[in-house]
Amino acid sequence: MNTANLQLEGLYLVIASLTEALVSKGVLSREEVDEALKRAEQGAINDERSVEDLSPANRDAVAFAARLLQVANAEAADRRGLSFHRLAKRVGETKPPYNDQM
């Protein structure tokens, strides 16, 4: 496996932990975090380049970080611990198809 991929996995888990710390300290609500991540996801997949030049798989790659962090935010109450593979699996199970995939 590419070392950069492993580094990104670790970075996603760090960001998820930091986000949870912000929520637990009352700096942001879980809903505010979710809205910010949804805006990031929409910005990524609605970018002119994304719509015109990227395949659905590449659009999913651009949106993956925001989607993974949304799942981590939603499942934070679960307390099973952050597992990149569990979170990534949930992203794949819950992502909607794009209009051009229907």
pLDDT by residue (tens digit) across 63-94?
999 999 999 998 886 666 678 888 889 898 88
The mean pLDDT of the chain is: 86
Q: Is residue 27 part of a domain?
A: yes
Q: Which residue has the tokens 């580094």?
A: 7
pTM recorded for the entire structure:
0.81
Q: Which domain holds residue 29?
A: 3-76+83-94
Q: Is residue 102 part of a domain?
A: no
24 has pLDDT over 90: yes
Q: Is residue 101 part of a domain?
A: no
Which amino acid, one-letter code, is at 78?
Answer: D
Q: Is residue 89 part of a domain?
A: yes
Total structural domains within the chain: 1
82: nearest Cα among 69, 92, 67? 69
